[in-house]
Amino acid sequence: MNAKARFVKWIPSLLTVANLVIGVFALVWTYQGDTERAALLVVCGMVLDGLDGRAARWLRAESVFGKELDSLSDLVTFGVAPALIMYNSVLQHEGWLGVCLTALFPCCGALRLARFNAQQRPSHYFVGLPITAAGGILATMSLCGDLLSPAQLVLPAGMLILSLLMVSRARYPNFKRVGFPRSAAVGVPLLALFVIGLFRFDHAVVNRLIFLPLALYAFIGLVQAARRRQAKLRDDADAEPFESGLK
In the chain, the amino acid numbered 182 is R
Question: Which helix (H) or strand (E) element contains residue 241?
Answer: helix 203-246
Query: What are the boundaries of each domain within the chain?
Result: 3-246
Q: Contact, 151 vs 101, CB < 8 A?
A: no
Residue 66 CA to residue 52 CA, distance in Å, equals 9
- DSSP character at residue 90: T
Q: What is the pLDDT of residues 83-122, one digit of tens each?
A: 999 999 889 988 899 999 999 999 999 999 999 888 766 6
Report the predicted TM-score, pTM, of the whole model to 2 decimal places.
0.80
Distance from the first to the final alpha carbon of the chain: 69
Q: Measured between alpha carbons, how far is residue 88 from residues 33, 53, 83, 132, 143 in Å?
A: 7, 31, 9, 20, 11
What's the rounded Cα separation, in Å, for the pair 7 and 209? 37
- Residue pLDDT, tens place only, 178-234: 544 444 444 445 545 555 555 555 556 666 677 777 778 788 777 777 777 777 777
Residue-level length of the chain: 247
Topology (CATH level 3) of domain 3-246: Four Helix Bundle (Hemerythrin (Met), subunit A) (1.20.120)
Question: In a 10 Å sphere around its CB, with 0-12 CB exposed, 13-18 middle and 19+ buried, how is residue 86 labelled?
Answer: buried
